[in-house]
Amino acid sequence: MKQRERRAILVINMANIVLFALKVFASIKSKSLSIIASILDPFFDLLWVFILWLTYCAMQNPNPHEYPIGKKRMQPVGMIVFGSFGLQLLFEAAKQFITKSEPEKDPQKQKWMIGVMTFVTMVEFTLAFYCRRFENKIVSACAEHHSSNVKTNLISLAAAVLAIRYRDYWWIDPTGAIIILLYTMNKWKMTFFENLYALIGRTAPPEILDTLSYLIFNHHKDIKQIGRVSAYTFGSDQYFVEVDIVLPQDMVLSETHDIGETLQLKLEQLPEIEKAFVHIDSKYTHRAENEV
């Protein structure tokens, strides 16, 4: 990466932190739901970077006694827990619709909010224009990010200003908040569901299962049958694999052990596989009470 691009990324990251702090300040001053909703997208961006950094640091200090399978599951747990903040804010906006109520607002503080949000929007528009001058993918992604923030800032600012000017139209502010929240949640839904599926144990795609079956069947000439091949997520982007293979009944223990261990190591060399478990049996059929 060129020195000029590194400098640009550093400036953008510093600006993101300052702009996020200004948005938080405007939200506290105004108590506007639409302004609070505009924080959600940059909040998720900062949170995502923080979780990745925290996970990386945690993985540098493994503790096999307390965390025998590592700490990579911190990432999806953190995303889902903090992602619930958007739903809570959406419920609060819906509550204002139902009760037709809004928090008390100080006109002087609302002027501060308008000034801060106008400044933030202008800066983000400038950053979006600035980032488009680079061909680097990371900087280009920042341009899209700031363009998106400009849209949500304008919606939140318009909703907040209209709610101040036309006080009888109490629904303007929560409407703006709901629009922004739905837009932001739509952007992050793929990331949210990927982390959710990783936690609940979603199966691997058919092509991965086919690759595993091929490797297992051709691993050793004494493998008579493959009883079961399953691969599923377990809180990370890699898969846990469980395999049942059938070996001859008269094979000695040391030979069966070597076949199973070498198969496990072979499967774990695949980039998609985090851990493999090989179960060795002498027959294919099992009694019904032993099936899961």
The mean of the pLDDT values for the chain is 78
Contact status, residue 128 vs residue 102, Cβ threshold 8 Å: no
| Residue 220's pLDDT band (cuts 50, 70, 90) | confident
For 231-286, the pLDDT digits (tens) are 988 777 788 999 999 998 888 888 999 999 999 999 999 988 988 999 988 876 65
Residue 265's pLDDT is: 92
Cα(50)–Cα(75) distance, rounded to whole angstroms? 10
Using the structure block, give the residue that is written with the tokens 């060795």: 280
Tell me the per-residue pLDDT of 46-70, one tens digit each, with 9 for 90 and over. Answer: 666 666 566 666 666 666 666 666 6
- pLDDT tens digits, one per residue of 64-114: 666 666 666 666 666 666 666 667 777 777 777 777 666 566 566 677 788
Determine the pLDDT at residue 49. Answer: 62
Q: Are 237 and 269 in contact (CB under 8 A)?
A: no
| Range(s) within the chain of domains with CATH label 3.30.70.1350 | 206-290
Which is more confident, 144 or 244? 244
Helices (H) and strands (E) in the chain, counts: 9, 3
Q: What is the pTM of this model?
A: 0.58
Q: What's the average model confidence in pLDDT over 206-213?
A: 90
Question: Who wins on pLDDT, 163 or 259?
Answer: 259
Which pLDDT belongs to residue 263? 93
Which stretches of 132-282 are DSSP H helices? Answer: 137-165, 172-200, 206-217, 253-268
Q: What is the dihedral of CA 41, 238, 229, 66, to 10 degrees?
A: -110
CATH number of the structural domain 206-290: 3.30.70.1350
